[in-house]
A = this chain, B = another copy of it.
């Protein structure tokens, strides 16, 4: 994917996670704090679709919010391709799942 395509997939995950968190009583204060303290994001390089699905399961097991992005496939990737996984929560919790990945 081009830088622009990666950016749009990441933005999709971020907006969707924000909406999910705002509608979840467990997270809606935490998400406002996140917005008001700089919206920290860490973008990591995934390996393949299966590993993203595995991370999604682990995030769910850890009671974190996650959001997969599947692309319509009009450009650059096949329709329905899993391009991005977003996870929202405490960094210490997310690190348990993704700390072995490199920055993108």
- A residues near B (Cβ < 8 Å) are 2-16, 18-19, 35, 38-39, 41-45, 72, 103-104
Instruction: Give chain B nearest CB distance to A19 CB in angstroms.
Output: 7
- Taking chain A's interface residues, is the majority helix, strand, or loop, or is none over half, making it mixed? helix
Q: Are B15's CB and A13's CB within 8 A?
A: no
Q: Which residue of B lies closest to A38 (CB)?
A: B72
Q: Are A2's CB and B104's CB within 8 A?
A: yes
A-B residue pairs in contact (CB < 8 Å), sample of 22: A3-B7, A3-B43, A4-B43, A4-B45, A4-B103, A6-B6, A6-B7, A7-B9, A7-B10, A7-B104, A8-B43, A10-B10, A11-B11, A11-B13, A11-B14, A11-B43, A12-B39, A14-B14, A15-B15, A15-B18, A18-B18, A38-B72
Q: Are B39's CB and A4's CB within 8 A?
A: no
Known: A7-B7, A8-B42. 12 other contacts (CB 8 A): A2-B104, A3-B3, A6-B7, A7-B10, A7-B11, A10-B10, A11-B13, A11-B14, A11-B41, A12-B14, A14-B14, A18-B19
